Amino acid sequence: MTRATVPSAIVLGFLVGLCEFPCSGGIYVGIISMLSISTTFWQGFAYLVIYNIFFVMPLVAILLLAFNRRTLKKIDKWEKSGKKYMKLANGVMMIILGAILLLTTL
């Protein structure tokens, strides 16, 4: 580990948090406003804990998968073999989501 690794990780973590806050900060602001209105402290705290668990779980799963080289090779092979089907599925999902947005906001 080099000397620059720890400061680089701190700066990168700060930048990721800064860029991620507009997406994930709304939950925290909403729960804080609930706490100020009617919810008890422990109920709001429980909501925050549940949110954080479900927010971090996929990241932990990715981290655990990244440690296993055999799994990474299988994922890479699967990705290369089904690339056109993944692109098709992504396109279909985007069309469906676009239709849902159009139909529910009109």
How many structural domains comprise the chain? 2
Query: What integer pLDDT is reported at residue 43 of this predicted model?
Result: 81
Query: What integer pLDDT is reported at residue 88 of this predicted model?
Result: 94
Query: What integer pLDDT is reported at residue 44 of this predicted model?
Result: 76
Query: What integer pLDDT is reported at residue 2 of this predicted model?
Result: 67
Burial annotation 35-47 (CB, 10 A radius, 16+ → b, else e): beeebeeeebeeb
Residue 61 shares a structural domain with residue 76: no
Distance CA 83, CA 78 (A): 8
Distance CA 26, CA 34 (A): 12
User: Is residue 4 one of the residues assigned to a domain?
Assistant: no
Specify the residue for token string 């655990």: 64
pTM: 0.46
Query: What integer pLDDT is reported at residue 68 of this predicted model?
Result: 83
Residue 22 shares a structural domain with residue 43: yes
* C-alpha closest to that of 32 among 41, 21, 24, 20: 41
Mean pLDDT by 10 residues, the chain (106 residues): 78 88 79 74 81 86 85 86 91 95 85
Write out the residue range of the structural domain in which residue 104 sits: 68-106
